[in-house]
Amino acid sequence: MPLISGTQVAEKVLAECHRDIAALKARGVTPGLAVVLVGDDPASRAYVRSKDKKCRDLGLHSVKLELPATTSQAELLEVVAKLNADPAIHGILVQSPPPKQIDEAAIVRAIDPAKDVDGFHPVNVAKLALEDPTGFVPCTPLGCQRLLIEAGIETKGAHAVVIGRSMIVGKPMAMLLMAKGPGGDATVTVAHSRTRDLAAITRQADIIIAAIGRPYFVKAEHVKEGAVVIDVGINRVEAPDTEKGYKLVGDVAFDEVAPKCRAITPVPGGVGPMTIAMLMANTVKACKQSLQ
C-alpha cells in the first residue's frame, strides 16, 4: 500500500516554479499574485497567510489585501477592477467563502480570466471543457491529476469514479480525467449525494477521487482490491486527547481502506500541499502568458 506523498510532489512543482520565476526575473518580470480576504474567518486567514508565505519563499510579488467583513459588493468589485488593471499582478484570488452580502459568482465573473488563477471564471471553465491549454484549471483537481501522473498511475482506459460534483473539485476533476493526454483518457463516473447504491459503483473503480466533504465517508466496502484512492477531503473532527482538541481527517476511512489499495493519499500530507503548489504554478503560467 504505497502512500502517494503530496508533500514530495508539491516540492517538485515548487522547484519547477522557482526555476521559471528565476528565468522570468532575468527577463525583468516578476510574477505577481494578489490574494483578497474579506472578513476574519480563521481558516481563511490561515490559508491566506500560507499562500502569502509560499509566494515570498519563491520570490513572487505577493499582495495580501485584508478587507473588513462589512465590505460591500461595490467596494470589492472596485478592488478587483484595480487588480485587473495592475500590470504587476498576474494572478487574482478572492478567498472563499466571503461574507453573506457578497455575491461570490459575480466577483468571480469580474476577475480578468487571464488572471483567474483559481480557474473558476466561466471562460476558464469553458477552456477546460474544450481542452484549451491556455485556460486555468482549479488548483485542487489539477493537483490530484499531477499526483496520479507522478505516482505512475495509468489513467488511460481506467475507470475513475469521482465522488462529489462541486465546481471546485468534482466537475473539473471529471473533465481532467476525461481529457486527452497524460493523466487523462479515463472512463469517468461522477457520483454524489443522490447516487443510488454508491458502494456498488465505487467498487468498480480503478481510481477513486473522494471529494464529498464528509469525514470517513469512503469505507472498505466502497473500494475494490488494488484500487487507487485520492482523498481530497480535509475535515476537522474532535480529538480531545490532542493538544488542539481536534484533528484533520479525510473523506476516506484510511485505516480500513488503505490495506486494500494499490496506492492512496494520506490526510494531511496528500492533496493539501498540492493545492497551494498548483496555485503558484498557475500564477507563473499567467505571467508567462501575459508576455506572449
Residues that are catalytic: 51, 95, 118
Helices 139-150 and 6-26: angle between axes, nearest 10 degrees: 110
Question: Could you give the C-alpha distances from 237 to 155, 216, 227, 267, in angstroms and in order?
Answer: 33, 10, 26, 13
Contacts of 271 (CB under 8 A, 6+ apart): 6, 140, 143, 144, 147, 230, 231, 232, 234, 265
Do the Cβ atoms of 220 and 256 come closer than 8 Å?
yes
Name the DSSP class of 252: B
Do the Cβ atoms of 27 and 284 come closer than 8 Å?
no
Write the burial class of residue 141 (CB in 10 Å: 0-12 exposed, 13-18 middle, 19+ buried).
buried
Q: Which residues share a beta bridge with 120?
A: none
**Cell numbers given for 129:** 471543457
Do the Cβ atoms of 88 and 32 come closer than 8 Å?
yes
- Closest listed residue to residue 137, CA positions, set 155, 118, 122, 152: 118
CA 179/CA 270 separation, integer angstroms:
23
Backbone angles phi, psi at 94, to 5 degrees: -100, 115
Question: Could you give the C-alpha distances from 70 to 65, 75, 206, in angstroms and in order?
Answer: 14, 10, 47
